[in-house]
């Protein structure tokens, strides 16, 4: 197969489905993202490999276990019989459908069973989790909201105090770093157990550089941030903005998020809400890119995640990471989440 210097991505969904329905092309594409400098053996790193056309596998010339490998080895696509010609358009769909997409739609578009589509989407969303370790700085808004149940679209202010009427609802903490001159604003979302002080403070301490200007509303849980941050409060009982002191960026994000949930998803179960949040945060943070750009970026992230994921489930030996008690194998994913979801 010929080498490609640059990654050429299709530009529309229809193109993506058609483009990747050709297995060789799907493989070429995966190869160009995964091994831009030539195919290398995932076990020993050697580039002395031969391609076995019929089996669609490579074989390392060095003598060791697992000499043969596929383009899916060590990625989140591994250990599923689903071909790249289905996986790649599925990534496209999840990444680029603005308000989210149901597994029924994915199933129809890709020509797979709904259960299969559901499984693929969950795995793709898992892989889209924000892997950035760069903390936020400059001007950061912090806010929290509740999702689920009948109060799905209610703002916290209308529901009474913290801890009241939150049964069946999931508390979500959001951080938004405002535009710096050279970058667009970005969000980070976390499902939190509740909105008590230590939970909210911990998220901020983990994600935001000390000394940063942090804007919040008057929720008491935020008090005490002054020690480590330049904490500025906007009391929504008085007004919504005082100069640059406001949380309107996050307020706007929440309304977009909730519109998406209401418009597309039958239900958002607390247990997998975080995946949906990751998907929405990714789409927001990459909004300036075009569909093809987002697709390539997500896919690169997915492949990187896959490599760590393989280590977590013990396929690549130990590298000091703790063994996760819940490996995301096909079986555990399906039984953990159950069937029949949207």
Which residues in this chain contact Zn ion in the complex, by CB under 5 A?
Answer: 41, 43-44, 46, 60, 62
| Region of residue 139 (left: phi > 0; alpha: psi -120 to 50; beta: else) | beta
Closest contact distance (angstroms) between CB of 338 and Zn ion is 40
Closest contact distance (angstroms) between CB of 66 and Zn ion is 8
Do residues 261 and 98 touch, judged by C-beta distance below 8 A?
no
Q: How far apart are CA 92 and CA 107, in angstroms?
A: 14
Reported in sequence order, the residue ranges of the chain that DSSP labels E, i.e. its strands, are 49-52, 57-60, 68-69, 139-147, 170-177, 186-192, 213-216, 230-233
Residue number, 60 or 147, with CB nearest to Zn ion: 60
Closest contact distance (angstroms) between CB of 45 and Zn ion is 7
Q: Largest Cα–Cα distance in the chain?
A: 72
Residue number, 41 or 117, with CB nearest to Zn ion: 41
Closest contact distance (angstroms) between CB of 59 and Zn ion is 9
The secondary structure of 255-270 as a DSSP string is HHHHHHHHHH-S---H
Residue number, 64 or 262, with CB nearest to Zn ion: 64
Residue number, 61 or 259, with CB nearest to Zn ion: 61
End-to-end CA distance of the chain: 40
Closest contact distance (angstroms) between CB of 61 and Zn ion is 8
Q: What sign does the CA torsion over 301, 302, 303, 309 have?
A: positive
Residue number, 46 or 332, with CB nearest to Zn ion: 46
Residue number, 75 or 185, with CB nearest to Zn ion: 75
Closest contact distance (angstroms) between CB of 44 and Zn ion is 3
Residue number, 18 or 64, with CB nearest to Zn ion: 64
Closest contact distance (angstroms) between CB of 315 and Zn ion is 15
Do residues 229 and 240 touch, judged by C-beta distance below 8 A?
no
Q: Please give the order of strands across the beta sheet that includes 213-216.
A: 186-192, 170-177, 139-147, 213-216, 230-233
Q: How far apart are CA 157 and CA 263, in angstroms?
A: 23
Do residues 128 and 94 touch, judged by C-beta distance below 8 A?
yes
* Spatial CA neighbour of 91 closest among 117, 118, 122, 124: 124
Residue number, 44 or 341, with CB nearest to Zn ion: 44
H-type alpha helices, 146-269 = 197-207, 248-264
Do residues 56 and 23 touch, judged by C-beta distance below 8 A?
yes
Do residues 34 and 99 touch, judged by C-beta distance below 8 A?
no
Closest contact distance (angstroms) between CB of 327 and Zn ion is 25
Residue number, 62 or 230, with CB nearest to Zn ion: 62
Closest contact distance (angstroms) between CB of 60 and Zn ion is 3
């Amino acid at each position: 197969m010929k080498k490609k210097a640059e990654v050429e991505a299709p530009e529309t969904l229809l193109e993506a489905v058609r483009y990747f329905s050709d297995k060789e092309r799907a493989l070429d594409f995966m190869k160009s993202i995964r091994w831009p400098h030539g195919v290398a053996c995932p076990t020993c790193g050697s580039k002395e490999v031969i391609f076995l056309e019929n089996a669609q596998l490579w074989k390392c010339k060095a003598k060791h276990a697992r000499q043969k490998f596929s383009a899916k080895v060590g990625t989140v696509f591994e250990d599923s019989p689903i071909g790249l010609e289905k996986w790649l358009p599925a990534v496209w769909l999840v990444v680029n459908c603005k308000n989210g997409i149901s597994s029924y739609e994915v199933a129809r578009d890709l020509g797979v069973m709904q259960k299969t589509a559901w499984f693929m989407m969950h795995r793709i969303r898992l892989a889209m989790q924000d892997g950035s370790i760069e903390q936020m700085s400059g001007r950061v808004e912090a806010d929290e909201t509740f999702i689920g149940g009948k109060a799905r679209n209610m703002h916290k202010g209308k529901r009474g105090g913290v801890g009241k009427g939150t049964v069946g609802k999931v508390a979500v903490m959001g951080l938004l770093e405002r535009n710096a001159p050279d970058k667009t604003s970005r969000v980070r979302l976390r499902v939190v157990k509740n909105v008590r002080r230590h939970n909210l403070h911990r998220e901020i301490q983990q994600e935001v550089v000390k000394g940063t200007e942090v804007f919040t509303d008057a929720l008491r849980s935020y008090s005490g941030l002054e020690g480590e941050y330049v904490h500025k409060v906007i009391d929504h009982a008085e007004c919504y903005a005082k100069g640059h002191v406001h949380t309107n960026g996050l307020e706007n994000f929440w309304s977009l998020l909730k519109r998406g949930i209401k418009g597309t998803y039958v239900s958002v179960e607390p247990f997998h809400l975080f995946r949906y949040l990751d998907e929405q945060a990714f789409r927001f943070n990459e909004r300036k890119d075009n569909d093809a750009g987002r697709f390539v970026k997500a896919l690169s992230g997915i492949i990187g995640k896959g490599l760590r994921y393989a280590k977590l489930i013990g396929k690549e030996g130990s590298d000091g990471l703790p063994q996760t008690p819940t490996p995301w194998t096909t079986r555990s994913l399906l039984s953990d989440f159950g069937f029949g979801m949207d």
